[in-house]
Amino acid sequence: MHQLVEQIANQDIRALARAITFVENDSIEKLQIMQDAYSIKKNGMYIGLTGSPGAGKSSLVNRLISQIRTEGKTVAVIAVDPTSPFSGGSLLGDRVRMNEHFTDDGVFIRSMATRGSLGGLARATKDALRLCDAFGFDVIIVETVGVGQSELDIMKIVDTTAVVLTPNSGDVLQIFKAGIMEIADLFVINKADLPGVGKLKAMLRELIHMTKQDRYQPQIVKTITTENEGIEALWEKLKEHHAYVYASSEGKKRLEEQRKLEVLELIRDEIWRDVYQYVQSHPDFSSNLTNTDPYNLASSLYMKWKKEGR
């Protein structure tokens, strides 16, 4: 077993942080680490939280952590920074949380950022969730600013995805357009002390009715983070959906599809690693390419890799 994973099994939190850095940087040891980590995985509850910048996700997660801690459960949070020039907020959010839960050994918080790694952010984040699971955290939360496909992809590993909205934020139509309804298991109307809550709730109900027929009907929870209102209800709804996923045939189907997707992703990453190294060191690739047809060169290099590259 990889030394880092042995240390993780022994509750070495620094080893967990190091292992996450390994997957973030797409280290060559990654697959070995993840295979070993999977062999000691527990049954952590995987929760995803997404929503627009400014929806108050960080503070909401902060409150949720405290709520979960009252049950004595441990919590790991992976905060994903999509490295978007226009996403905003995430760094500050982490700092806020760090201050409050810094001294609590039952809470682990880590941010991840796109490094243009081969596998990409979504893949690295999924591995990070599994590493936290292997460590033994009871609840593992991934928080993303839902600003791109890769952020949505992250949600394809969690058991339950909560979409955080605010009144009058005008997100609803965008949600419908982006097909985020597909991944939404629960809607949180945060900042529910602002005007427009009733209208938003009605629109959500309609969207749910239109898109979720014969499927799990996402609940709608209202929260006011500043007042710590609705946090307990949110936690209950999260547990409710989690139980549904593991009890229902719809849930099992979802887990099965997630697993298949994950296997495909992992294979793609492995291939990419192989081919990347082969091509980078190939003479055809080193010469002046500016006036070369990239499509022809790609085909010929692929053919050559197929012949020699293994």
Binding-site ranges for a copy of itself (CB under 8 A): 31, 34-35, 38-39, 51-53, 82-88, 91, 114, 116, 120-121, 145-152, 170-171, 174-175, 177-180, 252, 255-256, 259-260, 262-264, 266-268, 270-272, 275-276, 279, 285, 288-290, 292-299, 301-302, 305-306, 310
160: Cβ–Cβ under 8 A, 6 or more apart, which residues? 45, 46, 47, 48, 185, 186, 238, 241, 242, 245
**Where are the strands (E) in 129-226, listed by range?**
139-145, 160-165, 186-189, 219-222
262: its two tokens = 């994950």
- Smallest gap from residue 230 Cβ to a copy of itself (A): 22
- CA angle 137/140/143 to nearest 5° reads 150
Q: Which is nearer to a copy of itself, 106 or 148 (CB)?
A: 148
- Smallest gap from residue 258 Cβ to a copy of itself (A): 9
Contact assessment for residue 5 and residue 33, using Cβ atoms and an 8 Å cutoff: yes
Q: Which is nearer to a copy of itself, 54 or 198 (CB)?
A: 54
Contacts within 8 Å (CB) and 24+ apart, 201-206: 203/172, 204/165, 204/172
- Smallest gap from residue 210 Cβ to a copy of itself (A): 16
- Smallest gap from residue 239 Cβ to a copy of itself (A): 20
Nearest-angstrom CA–CA distance, 77 and 253: 26
Inter-CA distances, 1 with 10, 33, 36, 103, 272, Å: 13, 8, 6, 31, 25
Q: Which is nearer to a copy of itself, 65 or 175 (CB)?
A: 175
- Smallest gap from residue 299 Cβ to a copy of itself (A): 6
Q: Which is nearer to a copy of itself, 38 or 229 (CB)?
A: 38
Q: Which is nearer to a copy of itself, 69 or 205 (CB)?
A: 205
- Smallest gap from residue 96 Cβ to a copy of itself (A): 17
